[in-house]
Chains A and B, each alone.
Chain A
Amino acid sequence: MQEQLVFKRPDVLADVPTHYCPGCQHGVVHRIVAECLEEFGVVEKTIAVSAIGCSVFLYNYILVDTVEAPHGRAPAVATGVKRARKDAFVFAYQGDGDLASIGLAEIMHAANRGERISVIFVNNTVYGMTGGQMAPTTMIGQKTTTCPGGRCLEREGGPMHMAEIIATLGGVAYCARTAVNTMKNMAQTKRAIRRAFATQINDEGFGFVEILATCPTNWKLSSVASNERIGKEMIPEFPLGVFKDAAKEDES
């Protein structure tokens, strides 16, 4: 009848309070990324690329060598890093404004070239750090500080579905969309990140995981209501699933 430690903070995750707002799920994604780095044994050879936005401070929390990229450019910076140090494990961590708006060219082309990097894309449908402006993934009708009446399809276009777009590109070995709103989805998120990391480690190609997450502050909802919104509103718009898995295609 031995007591077993079943959940603790990964060692590579700094034992410090984060600057994230209460209920913000960057912390969850950070933790899962940290666990995967440890489980693959790549912490010592990891070079992370942090992007602009709330998650720029990734380097304060995940204790690996890190370079800060300009807004949207993380996939280009990661390309430079990986080309310069092929033995390194390289991942970029980006938000939706960063990746799907200003950095659209960089993510598309890094994916298309099949850069041996992994991109963690946290989609919370809003620009967080700058104060809740409309993002490329903002949902129709969602109110933000720059579409106060709600995003209008006619005026601003609809939300962009990055996982589906990235999956169409030739260099992509793995592409999935997951969420961290339930235990089941969290387990899927971990599987997806593991698989994306494995594609890099096995030299298969580019790995991409889009993760639906909350921004309670800018959604102006409680943490719990924000988490519920993921299941009720976001997943119907952004369906979860694996959109490309080169390994599975090879099997079939």
Chain B
Amino acid sequence: MSRIVIDEQRCKGCLLCVEACPKSIVVASTRFNAKGYKVAELPETDMDKCTGCASCAQMCPDVAITVWRTAKSKAKENE
């Protein structure tokens, strides 16, 4: 399973990551961070859909997203 971690204290809620996600699993949350920005999130329930493409992270102006990729899906496909 690939996954991302969003540093919520860095997030400014611009939501460019939401637009960038090809799986549409990064979304606006209902939480505010200490600076008052409504942060983006990838709900745990959808994390298994993440491909680790890093589109969200590259698009993020605040470099607030870290991405790990697991070659799982590809390995499965090959089986």
**Do A and B come into direct contact in the complex, CB within 8 Å?**
yes
A28 touches B59 (CB 8 A): yes
Q: Is the CB of A1 within 8 A of B70?
A: yes
Q: Which residues of A contact B54 (CB under 8 A)?
A: 6-7
Specify which chain B residues have a CB less than 8 angstroms from the CB of A4 in the assembled complex. 52, 68-71
Residues in A lying within 8 Å of B, measured CB to CB: 1-9, 13, 17-18, 20-28, 31, 183, 186, 216, 222-224, 227
List the interface of chain B (C-beta within 8 A of A): 9-10, 12-16, 18-20, 35, 37, 52, 54-55, 57-63, 65-72, 75
Tell me whether B58 and A7 are in contact (CB under 8 A).
Answer: yes
Distance A224 CA – B20 CA, assembled complex (angstroms): 10
In the complex, are the beta carbons of B10 and A7 less than 8 A apart?
no
Report yes or no: A7 in contact with B66, Cβ–Cβ below 8 A.
yes
**Closest beta carbon of chain A to B53's beta carbon, Å:** 8
Q: Given A7-B57, A183-B20, are A224 and B15 neighbors across the interface (CB < 8 Å)?
A: yes
Which chain B residue shows the least CB distance to A20?
B61
> What is the bound-complex CA distance between A31 and B61, given in angstroms?
8
- A22 CB contact (under 8 Å) in B12, B20, B57, B75: B12
Interchain CB contact (< 8 A) of A1 among B55, B63, B71: B71
C-alpha gap A223/B60 in the complex (Å): 11
Expressed in whole angstroms, the Cα–Cα distance for A21 and B13 within the complex equals 10
Q: Which residues of B contact A22 (CB under 8 A)?
A: 12-14, 37, 61
CA distance A54 to B19 in the complex (A): 25
In the complex, what residues of B have CB within 8 A of residue A27's CB? 60-63
| A/B interface sample: 23 pairs, CB < 8 A | A1-B71, A4-B69, A5-B68, A6-B68, A7-B65, A7-B66, A8-B66, A20-B61, A22-B12, A22-B37, A22-B61, A23-B12, A23-B16, A26-B61, A27-B62, A28-B60, A222-B15, A223-B15, A224-B14, A224-B15, A224-B16, A227-B16, A227-B19
Q: Which residue of B lies closest to A228 (CB)?
A: B19
Residues of B within 8 A of A9 (CB): 63, 66
In the assembled complex, the Cα of A8 lies from the Cα of B14 at a distance in Å of 19
Q: What is the CA–CA distance of A174 and B13 in the complex, to the nearest angstrom?
A: 36
Q: Which 8 A-B pairs have the closest CB atoms?
A: A27-B61, A223-B14, A22-B12, A23-B14, A7-B67, A7-B54, A7-B57, A22-B14
User: Closest CB of chain B to A122's CB: distance in Å?
Assistant: 12
Least distance between A36 CB and chain B CB atoms (Å): 14
**Chain A residues within an 8 Å CB radius of B72:** 1
| Chain A residues whose CB sits within 8 angstroms of the CB of B57 once the complex forms | 7
Residues of chain B contacted by A28 (CB below 8 angstroms): 58-61
Contacts of B63 in A (CB 8 A): 9, 13, 27, 31
- Most central of B63, B69, B72 by chain A CB within 10 Å: B63
Known pairs A6-B69, A223-B14 / 10 extra A-B pairs, C-beta < 8 Å: A4-B69, A4-B70, A8-B67, A9-B63, A22-B61, A23-B12, A23-B14, A28-B60, A186-B58, A224-B18
